[in-house]
Amino acid sequence: MDSRITEKLSILADAAKYDVSCSSSGGKRKNENKGLGNAEGMGICHSYTEDGRCVSLLKILLTNFCIYDCAYCVTRKSNDIKRTAFTVQEVVDLTINFYRRNYIEGLFLSSGIFKNSDYTMERLVRIAKKLRQEHKFNGYIHLKTIPGASEELIQEAGLYADRLSVNIELPSEQSLQQLAPEKNYTEILQPMGAISNQLILAKEEQKLFKSAPAFAPAGQSTQLIVGASAEKDYQILQLSNQLYKGYSLKRVYYSGYVPVSADNRLPIITEPPIIRENRIYQADWLMRFYGFKYNEIADEQHPDLDLEIDPKLSWALRNRHFFPVEINTADYEMILRVPGIGVKSAKKIVSARKFAPLQFDHLRQMGVVLKRAKYFITCQTKSLQRQDYDSELLRRKILFGEGSVRSALLTQQLDLFRQAG
Protein backbone atom coordinates (compact mmCIF):
# COMPACT_ATOMS: atom_id res chain seq x y z
CA MET A 1 0.00 0.00 0.00
CA ASP A 2 1.31 3.43 -0.81
CA SER A 3 0.38 7.06 -0.41
CA ARG A 4 -1.60 6.94 -3.65
CA ILE A 5 -4.30 5.08 -1.75
CA THR A 6 -4.54 7.93 0.72
CA GLU A 7 -5.09 10.35 -2.11
CA LYS A 8 -7.63 8.16 -3.87
CA LEU A 9 -9.52 7.66 -0.65
CA SER A 10 -9.64 11.41 -0.04
CA ILE A 11 -10.99 12.14 -3.49
CA LEU A 12 -13.41 9.26 -3.80
CA ALA A 13 -14.85 9.62 -0.31
CA ASP A 14 -15.28 13.32 -0.90
CA ALA A 15 -17.18 12.69 -4.11
CA ALA A 16 -19.46 10.06 -2.54
CA LYS A 17 -20.49 11.97 0.55
CA TYR A 18 -23.40 13.79 -1.05
CA ASP A 19 -25.29 10.54 -1.34
CA VAL A 20 -26.90 10.85 2.06
CA SER A 21 -27.83 7.28 2.79
CA CYS A 22 -25.48 5.47 5.11
CA SER A 23 -27.98 3.02 6.45
CA SER A 24 -26.94 -0.55 7.03
CA SER A 25 -30.16 -1.82 8.51
CA GLY A 26 -32.56 -4.43 7.29
CA GLY A 27 -29.87 -6.95 6.43
CA LYS A 28 -30.54 -10.64 6.93
CA ARG A 29 -27.13 -12.08 6.15
CA LYS A 30 -25.95 -14.24 9.01
CA ASN A 31 -22.45 -15.45 9.58
CA GLU A 32 -23.11 -19.10 8.97
CA ASN A 33 -19.92 -19.99 7.13
CA LYS A 34 -17.57 -19.02 9.93
CA GLY A 35 -16.56 -16.17 7.75
CA LEU A 36 -16.17 -12.51 8.43
CA GLY A 37 -19.06 -10.35 9.46
CA ASN A 38 -22.72 -10.43 10.16
CA ALA A 39 -25.36 -8.13 8.76
CA GLU A 40 -28.44 -9.22 10.65
CA GLY A 41 -30.87 -6.68 11.91
CA MET A 42 -30.18 -3.11 12.81
CA GLY A 43 -27.14 -1.41 11.43
CA ILE A 44 -24.71 0.35 13.72
CA CYS A 45 -23.36 3.86 13.45
CA HIS A 46 -19.68 3.49 14.21
CA SER A 47 -19.02 7.17 14.18
CA TYR A 48 -20.64 10.50 13.38
CA THR A 49 -19.37 13.18 11.07
CA GLU A 50 -18.97 16.69 12.37
CA ASP A 51 -22.23 17.52 10.66
CA GLY A 52 -23.87 14.88 12.83
CA ARG A 53 -24.53 12.19 10.25
CA CYS A 54 -24.13 8.53 10.98
CA VAL A 55 -21.02 6.83 9.64
CA SER A 56 -21.91 3.23 9.16
CA LEU A 57 -20.46 2.22 5.84
CA LEU A 58 -17.34 2.84 3.84
CA LYS A 59 -19.04 5.07 1.31
CA ILE A 60 -16.91 5.68 -1.75
CA LEU A 61 -17.02 5.98 -5.50
CA LEU A 62 -15.10 3.44 -7.53
CA THR A 63 -14.14 6.31 -9.80
CA ASN A 64 -15.02 9.95 -10.26
CA PHE A 65 -14.44 9.88 -13.99
CA CYS A 66 -17.83 10.41 -15.58
CA ILE A 67 -19.14 10.76 -19.11
CA TYR A 68 -22.33 12.50 -17.97
CA ASP A 69 -22.83 16.11 -17.01
CA CYS A 70 -25.50 16.34 -14.31
CA ALA A 71 -25.60 19.94 -13.11
CA TYR A 72 -26.05 19.13 -9.40
CA CYS A 73 -23.13 16.70 -9.17
CA VAL A 74 -19.48 17.40 -8.31
CA THR A 75 -18.39 14.54 -10.51
CA ARG A 76 -20.00 15.93 -13.68
CA LYS A 77 -17.86 15.89 -16.79
CA SER A 78 -17.57 19.65 -17.16
CA ASN A 79 -16.34 20.19 -13.60
CA ASP A 80 -12.65 20.94 -13.34
CA ILE A 81 -11.51 18.51 -10.61
CA LYS A 82 -8.89 15.86 -10.09
CA ARG A 83 -10.00 12.43 -11.33
CA THR A 84 -8.96 9.05 -10.05
CA ALA A 85 -10.10 5.42 -9.73
CA PHE A 86 -9.68 2.54 -7.31
CA THR A 87 -8.78 -0.91 -8.51
CA VAL A 88 -11.08 -3.78 -7.57
CA GLN A 89 -8.47 -5.13 -5.14
CA GLU A 90 -7.99 -1.79 -3.41
CA VAL A 91 -11.67 -1.51 -2.57
CA VAL A 92 -11.73 -5.10 -1.31
CA ASP A 93 -8.70 -4.55 0.94
CA LEU A 94 -10.02 -1.33 2.42
CA THR A 95 -13.40 -2.88 3.15
CA ILE A 96 -12.00 -5.97 4.81
CA ASN A 97 -9.43 -4.14 6.89
CA PHE A 98 -11.84 -1.45 8.07
CA TYR A 99 -14.41 -4.07 8.90
CA ARG A 100 -12.00 -6.22 10.92
CA ARG A 101 -11.18 -3.24 13.13
CA ASN A 102 -14.86 -2.52 13.75
CA TYR A 103 -14.81 0.81 11.91
CA ILE A 104 -17.70 -0.03 9.60
CA GLU A 105 -20.69 -2.26 8.93
CA GLY A 106 -19.77 -2.70 5.31
CA LEU A 107 -19.45 -1.02 1.96
CA PHE A 108 -21.59 1.46 0.05
CA LEU A 109 -20.19 1.55 -3.44
CA SER A 110 -21.22 3.90 -6.17
CA SER A 111 -19.43 5.28 -9.17
CA GLY A 112 -19.20 7.83 -11.92
CA ILE A 113 -19.70 6.33 -15.35
CA PHE A 114 -16.35 5.32 -16.73
CA LYS A 115 -16.39 4.45 -20.47
CA ASN A 116 -19.97 3.15 -20.37
CA SER A 117 -22.60 1.93 -17.96
CA ASP A 118 -21.99 -1.78 -18.22
CA TYR A 119 -18.24 -1.45 -18.01
CA THR A 120 -18.66 0.40 -14.72
CA MET A 121 -21.43 -1.77 -13.32
CA GLU A 122 -19.46 -4.91 -14.10
CA ARG A 123 -16.65 -3.70 -11.83
CA LEU A 124 -19.00 -2.88 -8.98
CA VAL A 125 -20.43 -6.36 -9.22
CA ARG A 126 -16.96 -7.90 -9.34
CA ILE A 127 -16.01 -6.20 -6.07
CA ALA A 128 -19.12 -7.46 -4.31
CA LYS A 129 -18.61 -10.95 -5.67
CA LYS A 130 -15.01 -11.06 -4.57
CA LEU A 131 -15.92 -9.94 -1.07
CA ARG A 132 -18.61 -12.57 -0.75
CA GLN A 133 -16.86 -15.48 -2.39
CA GLU A 134 -13.16 -15.08 -1.74
CA HIS A 135 -13.37 -13.44 1.66
CA LYS A 136 -16.55 -15.03 2.96
CA PHE A 137 -17.65 -11.52 3.84
CA ASN A 138 -21.10 -11.30 5.44
CA GLY A 139 -21.03 -7.60 6.21
CA TYR A 140 -23.37 -5.14 4.55
CA ILE A 141 -23.00 -4.25 0.88
CA HIS A 142 -25.02 -1.51 -0.77
CA LEU A 143 -24.47 -1.10 -4.49
CA LYS A 144 -25.77 1.82 -6.44
CA THR A 145 -26.82 0.73 -9.87
CA ILE A 146 -25.34 2.68 -12.71
CA PRO A 147 -27.95 4.35 -14.93
CA GLY A 148 -28.28 2.40 -18.15
CA ALA A 149 -26.66 -0.80 -16.88
CA SER A 150 -28.02 -4.03 -18.33
CA GLU A 151 -30.64 -6.03 -16.51
CA GLU A 152 -28.38 -9.08 -16.29
CA LEU A 153 -25.75 -7.13 -14.38
CA ILE A 154 -28.31 -5.66 -12.03
CA GLN A 155 -29.66 -9.10 -11.41
CA GLU A 156 -26.19 -10.40 -10.62
CA ALA A 157 -25.56 -7.43 -8.34
CA GLY A 158 -28.62 -8.43 -6.32
CA LEU A 159 -27.09 -11.81 -5.57
CA TYR A 160 -24.18 -10.25 -3.67
CA ALA A 161 -25.57 -6.96 -2.41
CA ASP A 162 -27.80 -6.48 0.60
CA ARG A 163 -29.29 -3.37 -0.83
CA LEU A 164 -29.55 -1.92 -4.32
CA SER A 165 -30.46 1.63 -5.13
CA VAL A 166 -31.40 3.52 -8.22
CA ASN A 167 -31.46 7.24 -7.62
CA ILE A 168 -34.50 9.06 -8.89
CA GLU A 169 -32.37 12.22 -8.56
CA LEU A 170 -34.98 14.94 -8.99
CA PRO A 171 -38.64 15.20 -8.05
CA SER A 172 -39.93 15.64 -11.60
CA GLU A 173 -39.13 14.51 -15.09
CA GLN A 174 -39.02 18.09 -16.26
CA SER A 175 -36.32 19.05 -13.79
CA LEU A 176 -34.38 15.98 -14.68
CA GLN A 177 -34.38 17.04 -18.31
CA GLN A 178 -33.07 20.44 -17.41
CA LEU A 179 -30.39 19.39 -14.98
CA ALA A 180 -29.40 15.92 -16.12
CA PRO A 181 -30.06 15.89 -19.84
CA GLU A 182 -28.58 12.42 -20.34
CA LYS A 183 -31.06 10.87 -17.91
CA ASN A 184 -34.81 10.32 -18.03
CA TYR A 185 -37.49 8.82 -15.78
CA THR A 186 -38.13 5.82 -17.99
CA GLU A 187 -34.53 4.72 -17.73
CA ILE A 188 -34.57 5.22 -13.99
CA LEU A 189 -37.92 3.58 -13.28
CA GLN A 190 -37.30 0.61 -15.52
CA PRO A 191 -34.43 -0.90 -13.43
CA MET A 192 -36.27 0.12 -10.25
CA GLY A 193 -39.24 -1.91 -11.44
CA ALA A 194 -37.01 -4.80 -12.42
CA ILE A 195 -35.41 -4.87 -8.98
CA SER A 196 -38.79 -4.66 -7.34
CA ASN A 197 -40.01 -7.66 -9.35
CA GLN A 198 -36.87 -9.61 -8.56
CA LEU A 199 -37.34 -8.91 -4.87
CA ILE A 200 -40.86 -10.26 -4.94
CA LEU A 201 -39.83 -13.27 -6.98
CA ALA A 202 -36.91 -14.15 -4.73
CA LYS A 203 -39.13 -13.90 -1.67
CA GLU A 204 -41.65 -16.28 -3.14
CA GLU A 205 -38.98 -18.74 -4.15
CA GLN A 206 -37.52 -18.64 -0.68
CA LYS A 207 -40.87 -19.54 0.74
CA LEU A 208 -40.83 -22.68 -1.39
CA PHE A 209 -37.16 -23.56 -1.23
CA LYS A 210 -35.14 -22.44 1.72
CA SER A 211 -31.98 -22.68 -0.35
CA ALA A 212 -33.16 -20.35 -3.10
CA PRO A 213 -30.65 -17.53 -3.54
CA ALA A 214 -31.41 -14.31 -1.69
CA PHE A 215 -31.79 -11.18 -3.76
CA ALA A 216 -30.83 -7.88 -2.10
CA PRO A 217 -32.40 -8.94 1.22
CA ALA A 218 -32.36 -5.40 2.62
CA GLY A 219 -34.43 -4.19 -0.31
CA GLN A 220 -33.99 -1.15 -2.51
CA SER A 221 -33.84 2.55 -1.81
CA THR A 222 -33.56 5.75 -3.76
CA GLN A 223 -32.53 9.34 -3.29
CA LEU A 224 -33.82 12.62 -4.56
CA ILE A 225 -32.33 16.06 -4.32
CA VAL A 226 -34.35 18.78 -2.64
CA GLY A 227 -33.87 22.41 -3.48
CA ALA A 228 -32.03 22.13 -6.79
CA SER A 229 -35.32 22.46 -8.67
CA ALA A 230 -38.66 24.16 -8.13
CA GLU A 231 -40.98 21.34 -6.95
CA LYS A 232 -43.20 21.89 -3.93
CA ASP A 233 -43.08 19.60 -0.89
CA TYR A 234 -46.51 18.36 -1.88
CA GLN A 235 -45.15 17.02 -5.17
CA ILE A 236 -42.18 15.45 -3.43
CA LEU A 237 -44.36 13.60 -0.92
CA GLN A 238 -46.70 12.48 -3.66
CA LEU A 239 -43.76 11.06 -5.59
CA SER A 240 -42.37 9.31 -2.50
CA ASN A 241 -45.76 7.83 -1.79
CA GLN A 242 -45.87 6.40 -5.31
CA LEU A 243 -42.36 5.04 -4.99
CA TYR A 244 -43.11 3.36 -1.67
CA LYS A 245 -46.33 1.87 -3.00
CA GLY A 246 -45.45 1.12 -6.60
CA TYR A 247 -41.88 -0.07 -6.21
CA SER A 248 -42.01 -1.29 -2.62
CA LEU A 249 -38.98 0.80 -1.74
CA LYS A 250 -37.50 0.46 1.74
CA ARG A 251 -36.45 4.05 1.90
CA VAL A 252 -36.59 7.28 -0.03
CA TYR A 253 -33.72 9.55 0.96
CA TYR A 254 -33.88 13.30 0.58
CA SER A 255 -30.73 15.23 0.09
CA GLY A 256 -30.86 18.98 0.62
CA TYR A 257 -28.94 20.36 -2.30
CA VAL A 258 -25.44 21.43 -1.27
CA PRO A 259 -24.25 24.13 -3.66
CA VAL A 260 -21.36 22.32 -5.31
CA SER A 261 -21.13 24.27 -8.49
CA ALA A 262 -21.79 27.53 -10.20
CA ASP A 263 -23.52 25.78 -13.05
CA ASN A 264 -25.96 28.26 -14.55
CA ARG A 265 -28.72 25.66 -14.77
CA LEU A 266 -29.05 25.76 -10.97
CA PRO A 267 -30.70 28.17 -8.57
CA ILE A 268 -28.27 30.36 -6.69
CA ILE A 269 -28.26 29.32 -3.07
CA THR A 270 -25.58 29.72 -0.46
CA GLU A 271 -26.66 27.17 2.11
CA PRO A 272 -28.19 23.72 1.85
CA PRO A 273 -31.93 23.73 2.81
CA ILE A 274 -31.36 21.73 5.97
CA ILE A 275 -34.57 22.60 7.81
CA ARG A 276 -36.70 21.88 4.78
CA GLU A 277 -34.94 18.57 4.34
CA ASN A 278 -35.65 17.72 8.00
CA ARG A 279 -39.31 18.57 7.61
CA ILE A 280 -39.57 16.29 4.59
CA TYR A 281 -37.95 13.48 6.57
CA GLN A 282 -40.47 14.05 9.36
CA ALA A 283 -43.29 13.90 6.83
CA ASP A 284 -41.83 10.71 5.34
CA TRP A 285 -41.70 9.27 8.86
CA LEU A 286 -45.35 10.14 9.39
CA MET A 287 -46.29 8.30 6.21
CA ARG A 288 -44.33 5.19 7.10
CA PHE A 289 -44.81 4.83 10.85
CA TYR A 290 -47.69 7.03 11.95
CA GLY A 291 -50.39 6.05 9.52
CA PHE A 292 -50.62 9.42 7.79
CA LYS A 293 -51.57 9.70 4.14
CA TYR A 294 -49.33 11.98 2.10
CA ASN A 295 -52.19 14.35 1.31
CA GLU A 296 -53.01 14.79 4.97
CA ILE A 297 -49.54 16.23 5.46
CA ALA A 298 -49.47 18.53 2.45
CA ASP A 299 -51.94 19.23 -0.33
CA GLU A 300 -52.66 21.76 -3.00
CA GLN A 301 -53.90 24.28 -0.43
CA HIS A 302 -50.84 23.75 1.77
CA PRO A 303 -48.21 22.79 -0.78
CA ASP A 304 -45.16 23.46 1.40
CA LEU A 305 -44.38 22.15 4.84
CA ASP A 306 -44.26 24.68 7.63
CA LEU A 307 -40.60 25.34 8.44
CA GLU A 308 -41.32 26.59 11.95
CA ILE A 309 -43.28 23.65 13.27
CA ASP A 310 -43.16 19.95 12.54
CA PRO A 311 -45.70 18.44 10.14
CA LYS A 312 -47.56 16.51 12.82
CA LEU A 313 -48.24 19.61 14.87
CA SER A 314 -49.10 21.42 11.71
CA TRP A 315 -51.68 18.74 10.85
CA ALA A 316 -53.13 18.85 14.38
CA LEU A 317 -53.57 22.62 14.20
CA ARG A 318 -55.46 22.26 10.94
CA ASN A 319 -57.62 19.48 12.37
CA ARG A 320 -58.64 20.64 15.82
CA HIS A 321 -61.96 18.77 15.58
CA PHE A 322 -60.14 15.48 16.35
CA PHE A 323 -58.96 16.83 19.71
CA PRO A 324 -58.77 16.60 22.68
CA VAL A 325 -57.90 12.92 22.72
CA GLU A 326 -58.73 11.01 25.90
CA ILE A 327 -55.60 9.06 26.82
CA ASN A 328 -57.48 6.33 28.65
CA THR A 329 -59.84 5.36 25.88
CA ALA A 330 -58.59 6.60 22.51
CA ASP A 331 -57.32 4.16 19.88
CA TYR A 332 -53.59 3.68 19.61
CA GLU A 333 -53.72 5.23 16.12
CA MET A 334 -55.23 8.41 17.51
CA ILE A 335 -52.76 8.64 20.39
CA LEU A 336 -49.98 8.44 17.81
CA ARG A 337 -51.41 11.52 16.17
CA VAL A 338 -51.06 13.68 19.26
CA PRO A 339 -48.26 16.23 18.78
CA GLY A 340 -45.32 15.37 21.00
CA ILE A 341 -46.24 11.71 21.50
CA GLY A 342 -44.04 9.27 19.63
CA VAL A 343 -44.34 5.57 18.93
CA LYS A 344 -42.62 4.54 22.16
CA SER A 345 -44.73 6.75 24.39
CA ALA A 346 -47.93 5.70 22.63
CA LYS A 347 -47.08 2.05 23.18
CA LYS A 348 -46.29 2.61 26.85
CA ILE A 349 -49.58 4.44 27.35
CA VAL A 350 -51.61 1.68 25.77
CA SER A 351 -49.80 -0.91 27.86
CA ALA A 352 -49.97 0.91 31.20
CA ARG A 353 -53.64 1.90 30.99
CA LYS A 354 -54.62 -1.76 31.19
CA PHE A 355 -53.40 -1.75 34.79
CA ALA A 356 -54.77 1.52 36.09
CA PRO A 357 -56.55 4.60 34.79
CA LEU A 358 -53.80 7.02 33.82
CA GLN A 359 -53.31 10.47 35.21
CA PHE A 360 -50.95 13.19 34.09
CA ASP A 361 -48.44 12.17 36.75
CA HIS A 362 -48.28 8.68 35.29
CA LEU A 363 -47.54 10.15 31.91
CA ARG A 364 -44.76 12.30 33.29
CA GLN A 365 -43.17 9.37 35.10
CA MET A 366 -43.26 7.32 31.94
CA GLY A 367 -41.33 10.04 30.23
CA VAL A 368 -44.13 11.29 27.98
CA VAL A 369 -43.28 14.86 27.02
CA LEU A 370 -46.32 17.00 27.73
CA LYS A 371 -45.12 20.36 26.53
CA ARG A 372 -47.04 20.15 23.31
CA ALA A 373 -49.24 17.17 24.05
CA LYS A 374 -51.00 18.93 26.94
CA TYR A 375 -52.92 21.13 24.52
CA PHE A 376 -54.35 18.10 22.79
CA ILE A 377 -55.15 15.50 25.46
CA THR A 378 -57.25 14.78 28.49
CA CYS A 379 -56.66 12.23 31.26
CA GLN A 380 -59.93 10.99 32.72
CA THR A 381 -61.58 14.03 31.16
CA LYS A 382 -59.27 16.39 33.05
CA SER A 383 -56.96 18.62 31.11
CA LEU A 384 -53.85 20.56 32.04
CA GLN A 385 -54.58 23.33 29.65
CA ARG A 386 -57.49 25.17 28.25
CA GLN A 387 -58.38 23.40 25.06
CA ASP A 388 -60.27 26.18 23.40
CA TYR A 389 -57.46 28.37 22.10
CA ASP A 390 -57.80 29.01 18.42
CA SER A 391 -55.15 27.41 16.25
CA GLU A 392 -53.22 30.60 15.54
CA LEU A 393 -52.91 31.39 19.23
CA LEU A 394 -51.99 27.83 20.05
CA ARG A 395 -49.31 27.85 17.42
CA ARG A 396 -47.82 31.00 18.92
CA LYS A 397 -48.04 29.61 22.44
CA ILE A 398 -46.21 26.49 21.42
CA LEU A 399 -43.60 28.35 19.43
CA PHE A 400 -42.89 31.26 21.73
CA GLY A 401 -44.90 30.71 24.91
CA GLU A 402 -42.38 28.73 26.84
CA GLY A 403 -38.74 29.43 26.27
CA SER A 404 -37.70 25.80 26.06
CA VAL A 405 -40.26 24.71 23.53
CA ARG A 406 -38.32 25.93 20.57
CA SER A 407 -35.24 24.04 21.49
CA ALA A 408 -37.30 20.93 22.20
CA LEU A 409 -38.64 21.16 18.68
CA LEU A 410 -35.18 21.56 17.36
CA THR A 411 -33.91 18.55 19.26
CA GLN A 412 -36.71 16.49 17.86
CA GLN A 413 -35.86 17.59 14.35
CA LEU A 414 -32.31 16.59 14.85
CA ASP A 415 -33.41 13.22 16.14
CA LEU A 416 -35.37 12.59 13.02
CA PHE A 417 -32.44 13.73 11.00
CA ARG A 418 -30.27 11.19 12.69
CA GLN A 419 -32.74 8.39 12.13
CA ALA A 420 -32.85 9.39 8.55
CA GLY A 421 -29.13 8.77 8.14
**Which listed range, 66-74, 101-109, 231-239, 246-254, lies at the site for other proteins (CB under 8 A)?**
101-109
Q: Which residues contact 237 (CB under 8 A, 6 or more apart)?
A: 280, 283, 284, 287, 294, 297, 298
What values do phi and psi take at 133, rounded to 5?
Answer: -90, -45
Amino acid identity, residue 360? F
**Mode of pairing for the β-strands spanning 47-48 and 54-55:** antiparallel
136 binds, among other proteins, ligand SF4, none (CB under 5 to 8 A by kind): other proteins
What is the pattern of x (binds other proteins, CB under 8 A) and - over residues 353-392? Answer: -xxx-x---x--xxx-------------------------
Write down how long the chain is.
421
Among other proteins, ligand SF4, none, partner that 113 touches (CB below 5 to 8 angstroms by kind): ligand SF4
Cβ atoms of residues 335 and 316 within 8 Å: no
Closest C-alpha among 366, 372, 371, 374 to residue 350: 366
Q: Quote the least distance from Cβ 417 to ligand SF4, whole Å.
A: 23
Contact between 112 and ligand SF4 by CB under 6 A: the answer reads yes
Nearer to other proteins, 133 or 351 (CB): 351
| Alpha carbon of residue 297 to chain centroid | 18
**How far apart (Å, rounded) are the C-alpha atoms in residues 249 and 244?**
5
Options 36-44, 192-200, 210-218, 393-401: segment touching other proteins (CB under 8 A) = 36-44
**Among 232, 288, 302, 418, which residue interacts with other proteins (rule: CB under 8 A)?**
418
Shortest distance (Å) from residue 130 CB to other proteins: 16
Binding flag, residue 66, ligand SF4 (CB under 6 A): yes
Pick between residue 178 and residue 413 the one whose CB is nearest to ligand SF4: 178
Q: How many chain residues interact with ligand SF4 (CB under 6 A)?
A: 9
What does the H/E/C string look like for the chain?
CCHHHHHHHHHHHHHHCCCCCCCCCCEEECCCCCCECCEEECCCCCEECCCCCEECEEEEECECCCCCCCCCCCCCCCCCCCCCECCHHHHHHHHHHHHHCCCCCEEEEECCCCCCHHHHHHHHHHHHHHHHHCCCECCEEEEECCCCCCHHHHHHHHHHCCEEECCCECCCHHHHHHHCCCCCHHHHHHHHHHHHHHHHHHHHHHHHCCCCCCCCCCCEEEEEEECCCCCCHHHHHHHHHHHHHHCCCCEEEEEECCCCCCCCCCCCCCCCCHHHHHHHHHHHHHHHHCCCCHHHHCCCCCCCCCCCCCHHHHHHHHCHHHCCEECCCCCHHHHHCCCCCCHHHHHHHHHHCCCCCCCHHHHHHCCCCHHHHCCCEEECCECCCCCCCCHHHHHHHHHHHCHHHHHHHHHHHHHHHHHCC
* Residue 81 C-beta: closest distance to ligand SF4, Å: 11
Is residue 100 involved in binding other proteins (CB under 8 A)?
yes
Residue with Cβ nearer other proteins (44 or 200): 44
Segment contacting other proteins (CB under 8 A): 54-62, 115-123, 313-321, 325-333? 54-62
Q: Which span (64-72, 206-214, 277-285, 399-407) binds ligand SF4, by CB under 6 A?
A: 64-72
The interface with other proteins within residues 57-96 (CB under 8 A) comprises 58-59, 94
Q: Looking at beta carbons only, is 146 or 280 nearer to ligand SF4?
A: 146
Partner from other proteins, ligand SF4, none contacting 228, C-beta within 5 to 8 A by type:
none
Binding partner selected for residue 30 from other proteins, ligand SF4, none, CB under the kind-specific 5 to 8 Å limit: other proteins
Identified binder of ligand SF4 from the candidate list 62, 70, 154, 335, rule CB under 6 A: 70
Residue 68 contacts which entry, other proteins, ligand SF4, none (Cβ below 5-8 A, type-dependent): ligand SF4
Residue 94 near which of other proteins, ligand SF4, none (CB within 5-8 Å, type-dependent): other proteins
> 76 is in the binding site of which of other proteins, ligand SF4, none (Cβ under 5 to 8 A by kind)?
ligand SF4
- CB nearer to ligand SF4: pick between 14 and 326: 14
Site for ligand SF4, rule CB under 6 A: 66, 68, 70, 73, 75-76, 112-113, 180
Site for other proteins, rule CB under 8 A: 1, 3, 5-6, 9-10, 13-14, 16-18, 30-31, 34-38, 40, 44-55, 58-59, 94, 97-98, 100-103, 136, 258-259, 271-272, 274, 348, 351-352, 354-356, 358, 362, 365-367, 414, 417-418
